[in-house]
Amino acid sequence: MADKNGKIVLDPIYGMIELDALAVKIIDTPCFQRLRYIKQLSVADFVYPGATHTRFAHSIGVYHLACEMIKRIKSQGLSEAVRLTDKEETCLRVAALCHDIGHGPFSHTYEHIFKDELKDVKHEHISVFLVEKMFKDNINFDLEKEKFDIGLIQALIQGNYDDYIKVDPEMKVKKYLFQIVSNKTSGMDVDKWDYFNRDAIACGVPERFQFDRALHVAGVFKVNGVYELSYREHDAFSFYNMYNTRLTLYRKVYRHRVVVAVELMVKDVFQIVSEANKSPAKSGKENKDGSYHVSEENENSAKPDNV
């Protein structure tokens, strides 16, 4: 292992995953550690007992795939004007690792429960907020030494290419950077590659997407004056399989009638607790920075009269 301060973890999908020193620092923060207790598929284990994997494992998987994609892109020998800089590479790794730290309890179910209160706020927006908070609150991070660009990391998490190039027009040519973690152009990104396979394996769904082949055929090419993440035309069927895997998971897992029914029960519980505290979606203890910990619920919420 090249990084003496890094670690190696064993993943059921990819085998050995190398974590660099920066990744280890991030993983060791309370902000990231909470992902250990958030199930990737919320209440799907009521139907599929094996669906108990977490956002923690998924995030490390996405980090690994992003690192592999970086290796693939660097092997192309792109010109200096469009190749990855050290700072951009660092930002990509951090964005991949931190893309889901904004998830609340019960993962996407939480967003569905409080969609009226949260309005257009998604977990990606909360991730963007928490990334900045995590780096500013933790004395172990030296923003200059670690080659951080928090603004770029936040844009990469959201795939926010159009807005970011208004701030930094020189990045316009490198559109491919914004298509690795969250691809708003085609939907083909390392986030989906990981959870399609991780969810399918956990639930025993036979349809699988060949992410290793996708990595092997990925490339950066000039399209309408900018460089985008592209794939060979004769590999189109492989990506059809990706979308078919997604459809299968939605039909058999994500929107399974029992899963939806249990989600509605969870929603009822949250609404009862919120009403008891007269503050929907913010029923936990308020911190100095205005954030809330739902786990620090007021004691009166647990009284038989209120729950």
Residues identified as active-site: 123
> Is 205 in contact with 249 (CB distance < 8 Å)?
yes
Residue 290: partners with Cβ closer than 8 Å, 6 or more residues away? none
Q: Could you tell me where the DSSP H helices lie in the chain? A: 21-27, 30-33, 55-74, 86-98, 108-113, 115-118, 123-137, 150-158, 161-167, 190-203, 211-217, 236-249, 257-277
Query: Cα–Cα distance between 265 and 176 in angstroms, integer?
Result: 42
DSSP 284: S
- Residue where the block lists tokens 């991949």: 96
Query: Cα–Cα distance between 256 and 47 in angstroms, integer?
Result: 8
Element (H, E) at 15: strand 15-19
Element (H, E) at 292: strand 292-293
